[in-house]
Structure 1
Amino acid sequence: MYRSYTSGDLLSELSRLQRQFQRYSNSSSSIRGFGRSEFPAINIGGTPESVEIYAFAPGLDPTTIDVTVERGVLTLSGERKSPLKSDSKTEAVHINERFFGKFRRAVSLSDDVDPSQVSAKYSDGILSISVKRRESAQRRQIDIH
């Protein structure tokens, strides 16, 4: 009546169930993290002085990316144009796995960052955003007299 699973069997079964769920719900999220449809992929980390956000957006013109901060939320938005001709009567697209179209990603920032201290740089397909932490939130050594 009950089936026991090894760890490999369990992951296979979970992946199968996920694919089945996606088929019926048109969902692209993944049980292992964000789905492939999330563009651009982002990494978020930090130092004692800042929060560092890296958006992986190869092939984008950096002038087409909007970075805004409002009410503690940093938003990346823009559009990636498709190089494929959709109105051509002689060409057909058989597989198109690269994301094209409008995108928007939002990141909630912690209360210890200063929204007026944001810098962004685009190099080699990576948008690097640094948000400085408030000076009052940074660690400081107190001298004892």
Structure 2
Amino acid sequence: MYRSLFPRDMFAEMDRLQREMQQAFDLSPTIRGFGRSGFPALNVGSTPGAFEIYAFAPGIDPATLDVQLERNLLTIAGERKLALDDASKATVVHIHERFEGPFRRVVTLPEDADPDAVQARYRDGILRITVQRQAAAQPRRIAVN
């Protein structure tokens, strides 16, 4: 009802502004949970041998992604650019909900993350990062004689 009073979608604009402010003051979330949203959306899980991070970032050129692990801080950064054809440049945009621009997400991993055993793969808009646990932190069977 109120949305029809404004020439543009003011509530969507306020929501976008709130997300940007949250990202600006976002403290690095830990592997245990995230208090705030951001781009790209993340799923984080673990197995006995590794940590799995999934970043949902469709429309990104994998060559522009920057993934770094330093002192248990995993940083995912890049930029999403929208490719507009000549027909869409002539069109007046009334609602623009798809994120574009630079992004950066930081996740704090537990201390047993091995910075020398990290793999990152991007396929079908999903960046999958696997960080192995250090061998000393993995459970081992001890033989009883």
Same-fold status (TM-score > 0.5):
yes
Share of identical aligned residues, percent?
54
After TM superposition, the score normalised by the length of structure 2 is: 0.72
Correspondence for 1:133: 133
After TM superposition, the score normalised by the length of structure 1 is: 0.72
Alignment of 1:1-145 (within 5 A): 26-28=17-19, 34-35=36-37, 38-84=38-84, 90-145=90-145
For residues 38-59 of structure 1, what are the alpha-carbon distances to aligned partners after superposition, in whole Å with 9 as ceiling and x for unaligned?
A: 1100000010000000000111
Q: Structure 1: state its 5+ residue gaps.
A: 1-22
Cα distance in 1 between the residues matched to 2:71 and 2:134: 15
Segments of 4+ moved more than 2 angstroms:
26-29, 82-85, 88-91
Q: Tell me how far 1:83 sits from its aligned partner.
A: 2.7
Q: Tell me how far 1:34 sits from its aligned partner.
A: 3.3
Of structures 1 and 2, the one with the larger relative CO (CA 8 A, separation 6+) is: 2
* TM-align CA RMSD: 2.5
Cα distance in 1 between the residues matched to 2:49 and 2:95: 45
Paired residues in the alignment total 117
Name the aligned partner's letter for residue 34 of structure 1. R
For residues 19-65 of structure 1, what are the alpha-carbon distances to aligned partners after superposition, in whole Å with 9 as ceiling and x for unaligned?
A: xxxx6xx5236xxx633xx1100000010000000000111111111
Name the aligned partner's letter for residue 115 of structure 2. P
Name the aligned partner's letter for residue 65 of structure 1. L
